[in-house]
Amino acid sequence: MENKTYVYIEPEKYLMDVLALLRSFYAEKDIKPVIPESREDVKAEAKKAGFFFSIRIMEDGKADFSFAGKNHSFTPETSNPDDFTAYKKELCRCLYGIFKEDTGRELPWGMMNGVRPTKPAFVCAFEGRGRHEAEEYYRSEYLVSDDKITSSWDIAVTELNVLSQCEHRELSVPGDVRGYTGGYSLYIGIPFCPTRCLYCSFTAYPLSSVKDGGNAYVQALISEMKECGDIFPGRAPDSIYMGGGTPTSLSASQLDRIISVAEDVYFAGPNIEFTVEAGRADSITEDKLRILKKHGISRISVNPQTFNQKTLDLIGRKATADETVRAFELARDLGFDNVNMDIILGLPGEGADEVKHTMEVISQLKPDSLTVHSLALKRASAMGEWLEKNGHSAIVNTDEIQEIARAGAESIGLKPYYLYRQKDMSGGFENVGYSVPGKECVYNVAMMEEVQSILGFGAGTITKKVTASGTSVNAGTHELSQRSLGELLSGGGSMHLDIERCENYKDVKDYTERVSDLSRRKKELFEHVC
């Protein structure tokens, strides 16, 4: 109990935003939220331990809160208490100032806590509104740092250039969103791994736990792909992404079967970007890489996460650092010329020196792209419990560590091309994808900016239907041209894009037994598209 830091938040609708601020400013604390709906034993335990922070917001908009032994009161000056969004923003701005004064630090992303912090810049660039409007929005609305504002704009411009590669761009006219929504992409999910890493929260199962070696799953996946082949009849996707889990946990013959169906049903020829996350080196073999090469797979990932062997042992990643190097070199020897690597900043026991070592190895290997993740301690992972049990200090992720990764990527010619955040990220930072110019991943951009439909196949995947409900702001109508960036970003779909979703079952058994139901749901979702 002494390792927990309790906070009380009432009502619950403010929980996520207030909690995000607290965890960003006080990443070293194990913050546990308590709300009116919490169990009585949890409330009793928290009350006995004492609250680090507590806040109660009344119906009239007055907020009473205590922090660091002091009581505070807040009443909005310009917001209507019934306007939840506006009130919440004023409240968070007030709390931000208090936490900033207490810690002596500012958050790089200010009050922004969403998954897609580059969205305002992307909308501005897409709408032809110019850089200044985006900069002012970030600065005034969310207190974002100048460095992150500049990065967001540069990445947004790069994303638009990447999306121009889409096969259906001939459908578009200047300022018309149809150019991206005219196409679609595929995601093929393989929910198996050799073993489960300590930090993992994805839908992933050790392949050894599946009696038939995954054959039933592969057959169900193939059936789903075939049954949905008429959703976009006669039209190839702009990109295909096979992720997981670890797709190369499967055998070479299983990979061959899945990719062959993707080619036959979805016209996936050599001009289609096709990514396969080869992932962990303990799953990569020459015969599997040769299968991928035979099918013309254009992009693969060989992911070390870190090149420090001590850390790999701690997090339960069985492939050694040397094995990862050998797997990367094997891929190069077999002719793969677009190889990505993933690393994670904030792993237990890692500081600046360890990250420097990882970047030194990466600089020697020179991958074509690098995704730099900041560790997110999710409830679905075992990392938080493990840290406490094994006596490790809080994870470390600092501006210095971020700069080591950025400078290392830049030293081998890699430029940032997409960015996203996750909940409870260490240090309040982000995940950044870097690439050699011209080898950016189209799927990553289309998925992150939600400008294109995604057909998701496999357990735990999500299908998204993205449709344009009107013309773009810069199409010239008076009504649309008067809309502010804030209005475009709130409610009903920015850039007039409507997004509908349907999810596949996460459990492999449920998925394999009910795959026909999932195919039917997808076809109903897209019934009026074609």
pLDDT tens digits, one per residue of 328-355:
999 999 999 999 999 999 888 899 999 9
Q: pLDDT grade, residue 385 (50/70/90)?
A: low
Phi, psi of 371 (to 5 degrees): -105, 120
Q: pLDDT grade, residue 392 (50/70/90)?
A: low
Q: Among residues 14, 23, 12, 6, which one has the least CA distance to residue 378?
A: 23
What's the whole-number mean pLDDT along residues 464-476?
Answer: 61
Cα distances (Å, whole numbers) of residue 72 to 54, 65, 68: 10, 5, 10
Average pLDDT across the chain, whole number: 86
Domains of the chain: 4-101 (3.40.50), 166-298+439-469+489-530 (no CATH), 302-337+339-436 (3.30.750.200)
CB contact burial 266-278 (16+ within 10 A = b; e otherwise)? bebeeebbbbbbb
Q: Which residue has the tokens 């002719």?
A: 335
* Range of lowest pLDDT (31-45, 183-197, 241-255, 349-363): 183-197
Q: pLDDT grade, residue 384 (50/70/90)?
A: low
More confident residue, 28 or 22: 22
pLDDT in tens, 100-110: 999 999 998 99
Percent helix, strand, coil in the chain (nearest 5)?
45, 20, 35
Query: Do residues 327 and 301 touch, judged by C-beta distance below 8 A?
Result: no
Q: For residue 475, what pLDDT is reported?
A: 39
**Residues comprising the chain, all counted:** 530
* H or E element at residue 146: helix 146-163
More confident residue, 308 or 397: 308
What's the whole-number mean pLDDT along residues 503-530?
Answer: 91
CB contact burial 386-425 (16+ within 10 A = b; e otherwise)? bbeeeeeeebbbbeebbebbbebbeebebbbbbbbbeebb
Q: For residue 182, what pLDDT is reported?
A: 65
pLDDT value at 484 more than 80: no
Q: pLDDT grade, residue 267 (50/70/90)?
A: confident
Q: For residue 252, what pLDDT is reported?
A: 97
pLDDT value at 168 more than 70: no
Give the integer Cα–Cα distance in Å for 458 and 240: 13
What's the whole-number mean pLDDT along residues 505-526?
Answer: 95
Q: In the chain, what percentage of residues exceed pLDDT 70?
A: 84
- 36 forms bridges with which residues in the sheet? none
Q: For residue 469, what pLDDT is reported?
A: 63
* Range of lowest pLDDT (288-297, 360-369, 377-386, 438-447): 377-386
**Positions of E strands within 119-272:** 184-190, 192-193, 205-206, 239-244
Q: What angle do CA 500, 501, 502 make, to 5 degrees?
A: 140
What's the whole-number mean pLDDT along residues 229-247?
Answer: 92
Give the integer Cα–Cα distance in Å for 41 and 39: 6
Q: For residue 211, what pLDDT is reported?
A: 83
* Range of lowest pLDDT (195-209, 272-286, 338-352, 497-511): 195-209
Cα distances (Å, whole numbers) of residue 291 to 247, 285, 328, 429: 13, 10, 16, 38
Q: For residue 203, what pLDDT is reported?
A: 62
**Positions of E strands within 166-317:** 184-190, 192-193, 205-206, 239-244, 273-279, 299-302
Give the integer Cα–Cα distance in Å for 46 and 39: 11
Q: Which residues contact 529 (CB under 8 A, 6 or more apart)?
A: 231, 232, 453, 465, 467
DSSP assignment letter at 395: P
Q: pLDDT grade, residue 497 (50/70/90)?
A: confident
The counts of H helices and E strands in the chain are 20, 18
pLDDT value at 136 more than 70: yes
Q: For residue 198, what pLDDT is reported?
A: 64
Q: pLDDT grade, residue 481 (50/70/90)?
A: very low
Q: For residue 24, what pLDDT is reported?
A: 86
Q: Is the dihedral of CA 75, 78, 82, 86 positive or negative?
A: negative
Q: For residue 444, what pLDDT is reported?
A: 96
C-beta atoms surrounding 146 within 10 Å? 11
pLDDT value at 45 more than 80: yes
